[in-house]
């Protein structure tokens, strides 16, 4: 079997890679390079020249070739590699007539626990959506932003004391509203400096938080380690780093309790399995990052099925136009679930592992026409004084 073509498909807020073969088997994968999807699409087309004519089943060799051929990489390049890798595993599953998880080592679990996104532009909306999530059957609520999902066009005005008091009050209200049987996954969006992050963690201890995600900007592993060592709430991070070597340095410092590996920028299944092994050696569990389409959700389900040290998985709303639209209520009425031939059912906080061949999901034939590509705008929030506010 040989690769005959590599195509880029741009649809909605996603960039997909489709790989065709001379045996009529095609595979699909998705890039997770988020704000730079067009750059990732260009990188896929650069790698196309190498892939055409190759055996698609030599996945590890292709991964090493694409990873090491250039002196430079980064999120856009790793996003391209990830989309290609996922598509190659999809082809392999279809070739051998098995689900991808069978090729990754078989099942460690029959179903995957997931948490939702709980948006809130106001305190009232946050509480309303938290209760809604529980009523939908989720046993864990994610993207709980104690600073709210306010518009990025609105300057942030709170001082440190006001910000901390409000954050504590909002999480306290959510805990009271949902009871003691629901895990709370708090998303801090890199908003704080280390001292403030440690201070906030102390204030949130009474509410039994599952983890604090990205309390500070994740660029400095030593700073993240300082936060992790001084916080009694577990720290989750990793969605913005790309390689097994970076994750090893993060873990060696004891900088997190949960690794937020992103299949869309870490090198797909091949990269994620390497990272999972390093995390396992450090007694650390994974919480896969996934703000993407149902294609990536199916990929994450296969990865979680075949990887023992998975704590829980992020589950973006398939009935929203995209994660960005879901969190900001853009008014776009498209639904991601309509981009694919079907989606798995979430029941009582779990999703059954897909049993179809390959990824077990396909894009609809005319997805680019029905879902015109909408790249993410370059826009960041500012503080009241005009400086940058991470959100």
Q: Which residues are catalytic?
A: 189, 289
Task: Please answer whether residues 1 and 56 qualify as being in contact, where contact means their C-beta atoms are separated by less than 8 angstroms.
Answer: yes
Which DSSP category does 182 fall into? S
The span from the CA of 30 to the CA of 89, in Å, is 12
Determine how many CB atoms are found less than 10 A away from the CB of residue 363: 21
If you count them, how many residues does the chain have?
391
Task: Please answer whether residues 25 and 10 qualify as being in contact, where contact means their C-beta atoms are separated by less than 8 angstroms.
Answer: no
Which DSSP category does 34 fall into? G
User: b/e for 127-152, b at 16 or more Cβ within 10 A?
Assistant: bebbeebbeeebbbbbbbbbbbbbee
Distance of CA 241 to the CA centre of its chain: 12
Determine how many CB atoms are found less than 10 A away from the CB of residue 297: 28
The span from the CA of 268 to the CA of 83, in Å, is 7
Helix segments in the chain, DSSP class H: 37-51, 59-68, 75-96, 100-103, 123-135, 160-178, 194-204, 221-230, 244-252, 268-281, 294-305, 323-328, 367-370
Task: Please answer whether residues 51 and 81 qualify as being in contact, where contact means their C-beta atoms are separated by less than 8 angstroms.
Answer: no
Measured in degrees and rounded to the nearest 5, phi and psi for residue 282 equal -105, 15
CB-based burial of residue 161 (10 Å sphere; 0-12 exposed, 13-18 middle, 19+ buried)?
Answer: exposed
Written as one string, the DSSP assignment of 338-360 is GGBS--PPEETTEEEPP-SSBTS
Which DSSP category does 336 fall into? G
Backbone φ/ψ region at 117: left (φ over 0), alpha (ψ -120 to 50), beta:
beta
């Amino acid at each position: 079997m040989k690769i005959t073509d590599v195509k880029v498909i741009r649809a909605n807020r996603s960039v997909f890679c489709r790989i065709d073969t001379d045996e009529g088997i095609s595979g699909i994968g998705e890039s997770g390079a988020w704000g730079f999807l067009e750059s990732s699409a260009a990188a896929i087309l650069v790698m196309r020249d190498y892939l055409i004519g190759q055996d698609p089943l030599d996945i590890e060799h292709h991964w090493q070739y694409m990873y090491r051929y250039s002196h430079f990489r980064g999120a856009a390049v790793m996003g391209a590699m990830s989309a290609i890798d996922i598509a190659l595993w999809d082809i392999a599953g279809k070739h051998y007539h098995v689900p991808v998880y069978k090729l990754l080592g078989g099942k460690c679990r029959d179903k995957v626990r997931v948490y939702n996104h709980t948006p809130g532009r106001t305190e009232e909306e946050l509480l309303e959506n938290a209760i809604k999530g529980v009523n939908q059957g989720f046993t864990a609520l994610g993207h709980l932003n104690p600073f709210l999902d306010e518009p990025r066009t609105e300057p942030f005005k709170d001082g440190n004391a006001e910000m901390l008091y409000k954050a504590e009050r909002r999480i306290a209200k959510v805990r009271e509203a949902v009871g003691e049987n629901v895990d709370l996954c708090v998303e801090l969006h890199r908003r704080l400096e280390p001292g403030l992050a440690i201070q906030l963690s102390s204030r949130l201890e009474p509410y039994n938080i599952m983890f604090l995600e990205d309390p500070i900007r994740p660029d400095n592993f030593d700073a993240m380690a300082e936060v992790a060592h001084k916080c009694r709430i577990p720290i989750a991070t990793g969605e913005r780093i790309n390689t097994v070597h970076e994750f090893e340095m993060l873990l060696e410092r004891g900088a997190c309790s949960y690794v937020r590996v992103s299949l869309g920028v870490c090198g797909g299944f091949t990269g994620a399995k390497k990272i999972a092994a390093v995390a396992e050696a450090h007694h650390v569990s994974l919480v896969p990052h996934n703000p993407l389409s149902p294609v990536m959700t199916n990929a994450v389900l296969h990865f979680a099925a075949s990887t023992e040290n998975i704590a829980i998985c992020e589950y973006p709303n398939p009935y929203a136009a995209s994660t960005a639209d879901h969190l900001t209520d853009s008014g776009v009425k498209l639904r991601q679930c309509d981009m694919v031939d079907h989606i798995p059912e979430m029941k009582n906080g779990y999703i059954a592992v897909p049993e179809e061949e390959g990824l077990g999901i396909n894009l609809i034939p005319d997805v680019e026409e029905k879902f015109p590509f909408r790249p993410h705008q370059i826009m960041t929030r500012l503080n009241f004084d005009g400086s940058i506010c991470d959100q």
